[in-house]
């Protein structure tokens, strides 16, 4: 086979939503021969951390009408979910595991309709390193079980990486069996007696997941959930009102203070008119959140991260009303205790764990006695310190460098990875939550579906493809004339 006829190979590392949908979009959009390799370390693809859950109490935190995986067909998920279960309405918060089945369905459908010139390969294994060819035009991916894969383009769709350990006096505890760092792993709950007190570090969405899982498993012991402010995610109130973006084009607030003032005023106005509530006001800036983030200078970004992040998170990332009601019941029954405090030390003595905390607004430290500590602080994206083998390798070889705020790697506007020397890669691209440093809002399906589509467009029209297409069409012309 000559170079001219060689299809472009795109290898995608990570088979969660972002990786799977990038593969789907590539296969749907490609007009020329293409080989797509989807690499996932876990057995199942299309699920990822969020939709691989087996707990039926884990619901989507976005209503069905907004969860289409296809940017050009907004009703796609709703229609699919309704076909599966006629009781689903646009406002239903569907179980997350069903969403995983939806993504799997899209992948299977794409595979059954793809052109014969499109090849798809799925590999199960962990990618530990990538070596870029001397000419900088391709990369060799090394998998944990020894296989090597050469690709013209490599997409990092690594998603939600395990949370960082919270800093404590002596980190020795983190090596013990009663500490669970990755709460999404299957090993978080087994071998725990039903009345054992537990500490969940974090009070956000991951904590909510774990508390519900404990409830479903019949756990009776006290569950302490702790974070510096003790804020819980707010609850959605179903409603169809969608407010327009509250800023005139080209007049986005250029400071955090200006944004805060304008949002406060907007909330006042909409609540006074009884037309909507603060939720719709917060949602109204969603279409321009990325633009706002990119407009702000580093001082404003820093200010937002320091002062507004935790407030933003609990207002922007809300939970389904059913989930809110279950959590409320657990709190009222005294089983779930929310604490605003800092963890100072965690020590283990036999099966007993002593957690020293510094409660917010008090001068005196307090102690919690528990049997297990589960880290629920959420995904870590600070590539400067992340200890995942692939990220460590990319960092150590200088292929990747952290962005200013530790939110992800530095990347270009078309999401190519930028190396330590500041040079954009022509091989490695990033999609998904690791784009947070560049976009801030890069977590949920409404953004990620667009990213998968945009990246696919970019990759199939990138210079490699162009030159090959040119060579190919020249060759085709030559042979037919």
Ligand X SMILES: Cc1cc2nc3c(=O)[nH]c(=O)nc-3n(C[C@H](O)[C@H](O)[C@H](O)COP(=O)(O)OP(=O)(O)OC[C@H]3O[C@@H](n4cnc5c(N)ncnc54)[C@H](O)[C@@H]3O)c2cc1C
Q: Is 76 in the site for ligand X (CB under 6 A)?
A: no
Cα–Cα dist 46/228, whole Å? 34
Q: Contacting ligand X (CB under 6 A), which of 71, 233, 408, 432?
A: 432
394 interacts with ligand X by CB under 6 A:
no
Q: Which residues pair with 122 in a beta bridge?
A: 38
Binding to ligand X by residue 57, rule CB under 6 A?
A: no
| Complex with ligand X: residue 69 or 464, whichever CB lies closer | 69
State how far the Cα of 156 lies from the Cα of 12, in Å rounded to an integer: 6
Contact 431, 155 (CB under 8 A): yes
Check residue 65 for interaction with ligand X (CB under 6 A): no
What residues from 160 to 189 belong to the interface with ligand X (CB under 6 A)?
Answer: 160
Nearer to ligand X, 281 or 444 (CB): 444
263 binds ligand X (CB under 6 A): no
Among the listed ranges 11-19, 251-259, 360-368, 393-401, the one in contact with ligand X (CB under 6 A) is 11-19
Contacts 24+ apart (CB under 8 A), 439-445: 439/290, 439/293, 439/294, 440/289, 440/290, 440/292, 440/293, 440/407, 441/286, 441/289, 441/290, 441/293, 442/290, 443/317, 444/62, 444/317, 445/17, 445/62, 445/66, 445/67, 445/68, 445/69
- The verdict on 25 binding ligand X (CB under 6 A) reads no
Interface residue with ligand X among 8, 34, 36, 60 (CB under 6 A) is 60
Segment contacting ligand X (CB under 6 A): 83-91, 157-165, 218-226, 237-245?
157-165
Q: Taking the complex as a whole, how short is the minimal distance between the CB of residue 51 and ligand X, in angstroms?
A: 6
Question: Within 10 Å of residue 268's Cβ, how many Cβ atoms?
Answer: 12
Report if residue 37 touches ligand X, rule: CB under 6 A: no
Eight-class DSSP state of 163: P
Whose Cβ is closer to ligand X: residue 16's or residue 324's? 16
Region near ligand X per CB under 6 A, out of 37-45, 70-78, 192-200, 303-311: 37-45
CB of 407 to ligand X, least distance (A): 14
Cβ nearer to ligand X, comparing 16 with 233: 16
CB of 20 to ligand X, least distance (A): 7
Write out the two tokens for 427. Answer: 């091989």
- Compute the half-sphere exposure of residue 202: CA atoms within 13 Å on the CB side of its CA: 25
Residues 6+ apart with CB under 8 A from 234: 279, 314, 315, 318, 319
Helix axes 96-113, 17-29, angle to 10 degrees: 20
Give the footprint of ligand X on this chain (CB under 6 A): 13-19, 39-42, 48-50, 60-62, 96, 126-127, 157-160, 209, 390, 432-433, 443-445, 448
């Amino acid at each position: 086979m000559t170079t001219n006829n060689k299809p472009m190979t795109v290898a995608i590392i990570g088979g969660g939503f972002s990786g799977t949908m990038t593969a789907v979009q590539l296969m749907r959009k490609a007009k020329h021969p293409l080989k797509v390799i989807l690499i996932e370390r876990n057995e199942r693809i299309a699920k990822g951390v969020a939709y691989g859950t087996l707990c039926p109490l884990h619901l989507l935190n976005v209503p069905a009408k907004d969860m289409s995986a296809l940017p050009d067909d907004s009703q796609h998920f709703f229609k699919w979910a309704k076909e599966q279960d006629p009781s689903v309405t646009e406002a239903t918060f569907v179980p997350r595991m069903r969403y995983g089945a939806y993504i799997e369905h899209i992948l299977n459908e794409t595979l059954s309709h793809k052109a014969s010139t499109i090849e798809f390969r799925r590999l199960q294994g962990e990618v530990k390193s990538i070596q870029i060819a001397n000419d900088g035009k391709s990369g060799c991916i090394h998998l944990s079980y020894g296989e090597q894969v050469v690709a013209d383009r490599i997409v990092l769709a690594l998603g939600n990486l395990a949370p960082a350990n919270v800093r404590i006096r002596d980190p020795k505890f983190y090596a013990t069996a009663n500490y669970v760092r990755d709460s999404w792993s299957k090993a978080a709950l087994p071998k725990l007696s039903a009345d054992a007190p537990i500490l969940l570090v974090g009070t956000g969405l991951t904590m909510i997941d774990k508390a519900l899982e404990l409830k479903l498993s019949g756990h009776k012991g006290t569950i302490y959930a702790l974070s510096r402010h003790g804020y819980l995610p707010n609850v959605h109130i179903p409603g169809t009102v969608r407010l327009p973006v509250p800023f005139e084009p080209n007049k986005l607030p250029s400071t955090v203070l200006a944004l805060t003032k304008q949002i406060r005023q907007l909330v006042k106005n909409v609540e006074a008119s009884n037309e909507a509530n603060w939720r719709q006001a917060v949602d109204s800036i969603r279409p321009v959140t990325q633009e706002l983030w990119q407009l702000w200078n580093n001082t404003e970004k820093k200010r937002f991260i320091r002062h507004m992040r935790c407030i933003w998170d609990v207002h922007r990332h809300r939970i389904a009303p059913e989930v809110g009601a279950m959590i409320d019941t657990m709190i009222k029954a005294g089983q779930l205790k929310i604490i605003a405090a800092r963890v100072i030390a965690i020590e283990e003595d036999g099966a007993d764990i002593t957690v020293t905390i510094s409660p917010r607004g008090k001068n005196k430290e307090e102690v919690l006695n528990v049997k297990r500590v589960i880290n629920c602080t959420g995904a870590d994206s600070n590539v400067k310190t992340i200890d995942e083998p692939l990220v460590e390798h990319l960092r150590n070889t200088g292929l990747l460098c952290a962005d200013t705020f530790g939110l992800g790697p530095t990347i270009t506007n078309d999401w190519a990875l930028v190396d330590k020397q500041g040079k954009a890669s022509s091989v490695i691209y990033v999609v998904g939550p690791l784009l947070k440093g560049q976009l801030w809002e890069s977590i949920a399906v409404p953004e990620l579906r667009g990213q998968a589509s945009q990246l696919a467009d970019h990759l199939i029209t990138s210079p490699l493809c162009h030159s090959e297409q040119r060579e190919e069409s020249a060759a085709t012309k030559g042979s037919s004339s």
